[in-house]
Structure 1
Amino acid sequence: MTTFPEDLDPTLVERLVSSGGGALAKKMGIEFLELSASHSVATMPVEGNTQVVGLLHGGAHVVLAESLGSVSSAIHAGPGRYAVGIEINASHSRSVTSGIVTATCTALSLGRTLATHEIVIRDEAGTRLSTVRMTNMLLEQR
């Protein structure tokens, strides 16, 4: 069950709940557990998200991280604004072949026009698998 900050834009909550976080996040089995601008957590199964030799696909790590970083940035942007990714980089340090991975997103900088987050992905034993840094531009809705 996802926990949302009390002051979260109700329109964003409705979009998150009704879409399951978006079509790709839903397809990959991503579950959002905690959501805020400064700290968010999500999980994803390894099964169904592997590459040809059975390892969790590096792109799956990035999809998990970007999904979490984007939502955290959208929360920071607030009502009448939205977030668009402008930079992402990932360093994969370990592999995993089964289980559930957990991503923890921490704000590095929350500004008026940019939000930067670090997303750390770990396996069930708590071993760091990937470190991702993402920057979103915050824009006014038209």
Structure 2
Amino acid sequence: MNSREATLNMLNKMCENTLNETLNIKYTDFGEDFLVATMPVDYRVHQPDGILNGGATMALAESVGSPCSMLAIDMDKYSVRGIEFSANHLRSVRKGKVTATAKIIHKGKTIHLVEIKIEDDRGRVISICKITNYILAKK
């Protein structure tokens, strides 16, 4: 197993017995300043009228936004805490899969600003989110 596969396995393993596992969120790709994950759109994440729940969309976005910062710091010395989150939902989805791509747009010593674009199976942006992460020194 190469280091890329090992990192993706580590990210997916740390999500066992969490909301990510419940929503079937899977990390699929990463780089120096980005992280990608997918989530199926089915009855588990629907609103009563059969479309993707905005809360599930936000859970997916947060699930890539904070770990994106984690990949950019020394996790032995620092931890990541989301301190502000915003979302704009632009279109709805009934079925298929959505893909979230988080990209750090500001990387300071103590604050990271991460933008998350969520797209449907056809590559259409369904939501744009931002999370501000606080980088906290471990004691």
TM-score (norm 1): 0.86
- For residues 98-127 of structure 1, the C-alpha deviation after alignment (integer angstroms, 9 at most, x for no partner) is 000011111110111011111000100111
SS in 1 for 2:104: strand
> Partners in 1 of 2:102 and 2:132 — Cα distance?
12
Alignment partner, residue 13 of structure 2: 18
TM-score (norm 2): 0.88
- For residues 50-79 of structure 1, the C-alpha deviation after alignment (integer angstroms, 9 at most, x for no partner) is 111111000011100001011011122213
Which runs of 5 or more residues in structure 2 are unaligned?
none
Alignment partner, residue 36 of structure 2: 41
SS in 1 for 2:20: helix
Alignment of 1:48-59 (within 5 A): 48-59=44-55
Which runs of 5 or more residues in structure 1 are unaligned?
none
Runs of 4+ in 1 over 2 A off after TM superposition: 3-6, 16-22
For the aligned residue pairs, the C-alpha RMSD in angstroms reads 2.2
Checking the alignment, whether the CA contact within 8 Å between 2:103 and 2:114 is kept in structure 1 is yes
Task: State the number of aligned residues.
Answer: 135
Identity of aligned residues (%): 34
Alignment partner, residue 72 of structure 1: 68
Alignment partner, residue 84 of structure 1: 81
